Amino acid sequence: MSQIPAFVALNADGVQLIVALSSGTPVILHFGADLGSNLDVEQLNLASQEAVPHADLDDHINPGVWREDARGFHGRPSLLGHSTGQRWASLFTIKDVAKGSDSIEIVCIDQTAALEVSVAYELANEGVLKVTQRVKNLSSEDYSVEELNAWLPLPDHATETMDFTGRWVKERQPQRREIQVGTWSREIREGRSGHDYTIVQLAMTPGANYQTGEVWSVGLQWSGNTRHLVEKLPTGRTSIGAGELLLPGEVILASGEEYVAPSLVVSYSAEGIDGITDRHYRWLRSRPNHPSVVRPRPLTLNVWEAVYFNHNLEKLTQLADVAQSIGVERFVLDDGWFGSRRNDQSGLGDWVVSKDVWPGGLKPLIDVVKSRGMEFGLWFEGEMVNPDSDLFREHPDWILQVEGRTPPKGRNQQVLDLTHHEAYDHVFGQVNALLSEYDIAYIKWDHNRTLTDAAHFGKAAVREQTKAIYRLFDELKLRHPGLEIESCSSGGGRIDLGMVNHADRFWTSDCNDALERQYIQRYTQYVIPPEMLGSHIGPTESHTTHRTHSLQFRAISALFGHAGLEWDLTQTTDEERAALKSWAQYYKSNRSLIHTGRMVRIEQSDDSAFVHGVVAQDKSRAIFALVALRAMPASTPNALRFEGLEAGASYRVKLVEPAGEANYIGRQSPKWFDGVVLTGAALARVGVRPPILAPENAVLIELERI
């Protein structure tokens, strides 16, 4: 065993983690802004010691990262577990410390409880901290793990939190509150991260906004059941954390076995929420297999809202012809091509091309698509099965279920037990066979119901089910190099920092209503970059809200993502096709900026408009959108400002209309539309006067350094 240092620290990109080890347990002294190279950490530790109030222990003991009752801590501990009622109380002391250039691993042990735990901190170049904890059973008796949450202390001046709630077709809606005494827990128990999932939870200084204030974020690299936590004790101290939500008996460790909890992704920004966004984008984009690093994100047509279950070669050929004329690069055939699947009542689980619909197989359609210069994609929902299917009739025991009862159906389907190796082999085998037979570059993988009674032969199985879908995606990609996978779960029901490592794209929401998408995309993009988020132009009348929007508004809303279309293009007019072609070309010309630049959101004094954009990393170019969400409170709108530019440089500012003219309701538009030149400082502090837009309209503004 190496000598235990008194302190260890990690620094990267203006972020610092300092951990004290001198008390025998790891104590986080600081996570946030870099405190400087001349900091005396021993003096910081001395300054951080608490006073001792009345009605407390005789001496203050910092409980450290394990938050143990044995050290006098009465909040929520990091580890909860037991062995038939014993070994529930721990007192871990440091056994070993391994320090690398960008990582620290601290191993602790409790000989009495016969448990070993470790925490590993890894600080990426972009200032994003990954925290991974594990627990190992050293006893000959089984040990049941109930919780293993990772926590970080928050400074006293972090007094507000923000997380996100939602539902189908209205995902990721923010809720912000003051941190008060008690434990705030956001729990997901539906077996997937879900529409109500908070991809990250934020802690903020008072009034922090997009550009200013300090912000801390915590997200979990997991797609199953989760728990996000904020706790403020009566002492006044506050912590933020998260962990996998384990169902009873899900993790029982035999002698020598260990449980490795899903990693936390933690970030800090001294430049508001946009600073958190920037760190996450740079961190994800640094991966060699990140989608936009591999190749530009192809303009996509998904045919679901064009044909639904009504598949025929003639109609789809017509769609392909129009798609080609517009400039579409990827054509995706959605639900209805397999087994008895003529509606949502039957066929799931039988991943064999239907001879009734496609007597010649999928090759004729794929040939049509490929001959028109597009790649072909195909829809699956491999984790599900209809009771009316060959698979279910042959293997009714292959669903997640508690013995003696069948879970209630959701969308006329049950959940296939992928922890059952034969069920897994069935799904993998049939999907793999299709990918081997046909030229399929992309699959859209759906997940349309929550998990209920999610048991494998009586034992809770959400954890293993989640690991199984990760493994399935990874094995398909290994067998078929270049294959891309879109994760769809009733739209945006499984978007998280775990699935980003296995999928290349997320279907952001089943709602293509452009107004709703402005909100959904805005908050999903807090930490998931636009190139991973499907954003499509839907029909004139929205499928989910029955609201009508102009093509111009729908096109601008779809631009800031991995753009595409979901519309019966054969019903479009010549004028609409010309606008779509112009917009498609604009997307292709600017996706390199949209998918690599820094996301910037401009704080507004009222909620009638959004202003957001993307600024090139070298600050040479930017594209911003002004979005009129509702009627303005005043007769003329507030100034349109642009942040994130080089203060001393001059920029030419002009309005662009790649998909047609917006609906202006003023008598006269501003005179700068054709171009005006201002410095970055002037654009950030003064800005330009915007046009008067009708509600649910938008305009694009380009800025170029000269």
Among 54-68, 284-298, 423-437, which is the least confidently predicted range? 54-68
Residues 343 and 248 in one domain: no
- Region at 603 (left for phi over 0; alpha for psi -120 to 50; beta for the rest): beta
- Hey, what amino acid is at 639? A
The model's confidence at residue 2, banded by pLDDT at 50, 70 and 90, is: low
Flag whether pLDDT at 623 surpasses 80: yes
Residues 109 and 240 in one domain: yes
Mutual angle of helices 574-594 and 313-326, in 10-degree steps? 60
DSSP letter string, 283-325: HHHTSTT-HHHHS----EEE-HHHHTT---HHHHHHHHHHHHH
Residues 97 and 224 in one domain: yes
Q: Which of 450, 390, 380, 388 is nearest to 415 (CA)?
A: 450
Residues 258 and 389 in one domain: no
Neighbours of 388 (CB within 10 A): 17
In a domain, 513, yes or no: no
For residues 310-336, b (16+ Cβ closer than 10 Å) or e, as one string?
A: ebeeeebebbbebbbebbbbbbbbbbb
Print the SS3 string covering 184-223.
Answer: EEEEECCCCCCCCCCCEEEEECCCCCCCCCCEEEEEECCC
Each residue's pLDDT tens digit, 438-490: 999 999 999 999 999 999 999 999 999 999 999 999 999 999 999 999 999 99
699: domain CATH number is 2.60.40.1180
User: What letter would DSSP give residue 577?
Assistant: H
In a domain, 365, yes or no: yes
Residues 249 and 369 in one domain: no
Residues 333 and 274 in one domain: no
Each residue's pLDDT tens digit, 401-422: 999 899 999 999 999 999 999 9
Q: Which of 689, 673, 605, 600 is nearest to 639 (CA)?
A: 689
The model's confidence at residue 581, banded by pLDDT at 50, 70 and 90, is: very high
Q: Are 279 and 126 in contact (CB under 8 A)?
A: yes
pLDDT at 1: 53
In a domain, 523, yes or no: no
Among 285, 311, 340, the domain boundary falls at: 285
pLDDT at 3: 87
The model's confidence at residue 187, banded by pLDDT at 50, 70 and 90, is: very high
Q: What is the pTM of this model?
A: 0.97
Each residue's pLDDT tens digit, 624-677: 999 999 999 999 999 999 999 999 999 999 999 999 999 999 888 898 998 999
Each residue's pLDDT tens digit, 320-353: 999 999 999 999 999 999 999 999 999 999 999 9
The mean pLDDT value for 150-163 works out to: 98
Among 230, 256, 285, the domain boundary falls at: 285
Each residue's pLDDT tens digit, 549-578: 999 999 999 999 999 999 999 999 999 999
Q: Phi and psi (nearest 5°) for 591?
A: -65, -30
In a domain, 530, yes or no: no
Flag whether pLDDT at 17 surpasses 70: yes
The model's confidence at residue 387, banded by pLDDT at 50, 70 and 90, is: very high
Residues 250 and 343 in one domain: no
Report the catalytic residues.
446, 510
In a domain, 469, yes or no: yes
Rounded percentage of the chain residues whose pLDDT exceeds 90: 97
pLDDT at 666: 84
Tell whether the torsion through CA atoms of 44, 46, 47 and 51 is positive or negative: positive
Q: Residue 37 is part of which domain span?
A: 7-285
Among 252, 285, 318, the domain boundary falls at: 285
Q: Which of 149, 274, 133, 132 is nearest to 202 (CA)?
A: 274
- Average pLDDT over all residues of the chain: 97
Residues 201 and 63 in one domain: yes
Residues 262 and 364 in one domain: no
Q: Are 205 and 157 in contact (CB under 8 A)?
A: yes
Q: How many CA atoms lie within 13 A of 54 on its CB side?
A: 0
Q: Phi and psi (nearest 5°) for 335?
A: -55, 145
Residues 281 and 333 in one domain: no
388: domain CATH number is 3.20.20.70
Q: Are 607 and 650 in contact (CB under 8 A)?
A: no
CA distance 169 to 349: 26
User: What letter would DSSP give residue 25?
Assistant: S
In a domain, 244, yes or no: yes
Instruction: List, in sequence order, the alpha helices (H) in 613-696.
Output: 680-685
In a domain, 592, yes or no: no
The model's confidence at residue 60, banded by pLDDT at 50, 70 and 90, is: confident
Each residue's pLDDT tens digit, 75-110: 999 999 999 999 999 999 999 999 999 999 999 999
Structurally, the chain folds into a number of domains equal to 3
pLDDT at 668: 86
Q: Which of 492, 489, 531, 533 is nearest to 511 (CA)?
A: 492
DSSP letter string, 626-647: EEE-S--SSSSPPPB---SS-T
207: exposed, middle or buried (Cβ count in 10 Å: 0-12, 13-18, 19+): exposed
Residues 386 and 462 in one domain: yes
In a domain, 187, yes or no: yes
229: domain CATH number is 2.70.98.60
pLDDT at 381: 98
Neighbours of 89 (CB within 10 A): 13
Residues 252 and 343 in one domain: no
